[in-house]
């Protein structure tokens, strides 16, 4: 899971910038949605939010509220762009999962997002990475992985005007996403293009970068297996600072999808 922006005190993560936007967002991994909720509640800032801090960062989720008997079918929306760039196994798995969820009572609509959001996210990350590592990379360039070095070097070419324009688009994206989610409990898309890639890379980040850009929480759980027996995952996206609502939608989906609910 990736929680909302600044939900975790990522003291062990080297920051890319002084802002909340990061190259990646740390989050818990567990065996089922309920366990993720328990773990996130335990490690989130919670009561560590200082006086005068952002109260939205406090988190208290009762795992008993995630039992199927206490949940109602969620209002879901499939994001049209992502299935188009997924491989065949993922598309089949997603279509089957959404049909199952719809048959179990969930409402399922189709919506679109602004593809320019991803371009703006990459620009902001590159600029802020370059600003923070400008001097260090000149002295210790061999310490950086090739893709990270490439990102920083590209960021050095980004102008202040381009950066500020991207920051304005980010604010527009946050407002736009909030409006998009007004009628839904969660947005839905594949977690990745397909199965996990080879160990040399963590894969294509575009399926997650949208939500790092807007600061929204996401959670992923398996929905099927590929022809080679590798897991395929679905990603649910919630409202900013509303992990509780996201967990309710995800717990319901996990429970009704056949063969994916862990033994209790």
Using CA atoms, how far apart are residues 240 and 214, in angstroms rounded to an integer?
8
pLDDT at 84: 67
At residue 42, φ and ψ (nearest 5 deg) are: -70, -35
Q: What would the DSSP string read from start to end of 127-182?
A: HHHHHHHHHHHHH-GGGS-HHHHHHHHHHTT--HHHHHHHHHHHHHHHHHHHHHGG
Task: Give CA–CA dist 101/94, Å, rounded.
Answer: 10
CATH architecture of residue range(s) 33-66+74-256: Alpha-Beta Complex (3.90)
Question: C-alpha angle 98/116/17, rounded to 5°?
Answer: 105
Express each pLDDT in 47-66 by its tens digit. Answer: 444 445 565 556 778 888 99
Contact present, 71 and 252 (Cβ < 8 Å): yes
- pLDDT tens for each residue of the chain, 264 residues long: 877 766 665 433 444 444 434 455 678 889 899 999 988 888 775 544 444 556 555 677 888 899 999 999 999 999 887 756 788 888 989 999 999 999 999 999 998 876 666 778 889 989 988 988 988 888 888 888 888 888 889 999 999 999 999 999 999 989 988 998 999 999 999 988 888 777 666 667 778 888 888 889 999 999 988 888 888 999 999 998 899 999 999 999 999 997 644 444
* pLDDT at 27 (0 to 100): 80
pLDDT at 28: 85
Contact 155, 201 (CB under 8 A): no
Report the distance separating Cα 7 and Cα 4, nearest Å: 6
| pLDDT tens sequence across 189-231 | 998 888 877 766 666 777 888 888 888 999 999 998 888 888 8
232: which strand partners? 224
């Amino acid at each position: 899971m990736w929680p909302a922006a600044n939900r975790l005190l990522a003291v062990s993560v080297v920051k890319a910038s002084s802002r909340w936007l990061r190259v990646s967002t740390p989050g818990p991994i567990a065996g089922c949605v309920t366990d993720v909720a328990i773990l996130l509640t335990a490690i989130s800032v919670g009561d560590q939010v200082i006086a005068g801090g952002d109260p939205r960062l406090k988190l208290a989720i009762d795992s008993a509220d995630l039992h199927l008997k206490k949940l109602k079918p969620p209002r879901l929306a499939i994001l049209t762009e992502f299935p188009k760039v997924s491989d065949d196994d993922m598309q089949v798995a997603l279509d089957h999962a959404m049909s199952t969820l719809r048959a179990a009572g969930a409402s399922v609509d189709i919506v679109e997002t602004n593809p320019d959001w991803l371009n703006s996210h990459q620009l902001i990350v590159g600029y802020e990475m370059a600003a923070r590592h400008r001097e260090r990379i000149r002295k210790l360039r061999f310490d950086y992985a090739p893709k990270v070095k490439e990102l920083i070097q590209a960021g050095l070419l980004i102008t202040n005007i381009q950066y500020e324009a991207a920051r304005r688009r980010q604010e527009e994206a946050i407002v736009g996403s909030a409006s998009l989610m007004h009628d839904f409990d969660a947005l839905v898309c594949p977690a990745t293009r397909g199965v996990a890639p080879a160990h040399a890379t963590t894969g294509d980040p575009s399926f997650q970068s949208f939500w790092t850009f807007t600061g929204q929480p996401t959670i992923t759980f398996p929905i099927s297996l590929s022809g080679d027996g590798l897991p395929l995952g679905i990603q649910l996206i919630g409202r900013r600072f509303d992990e509780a609502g996201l967990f309710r939608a995800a717990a319901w989906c996990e429970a009704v999808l056949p063969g994916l609910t862990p033994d209790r």
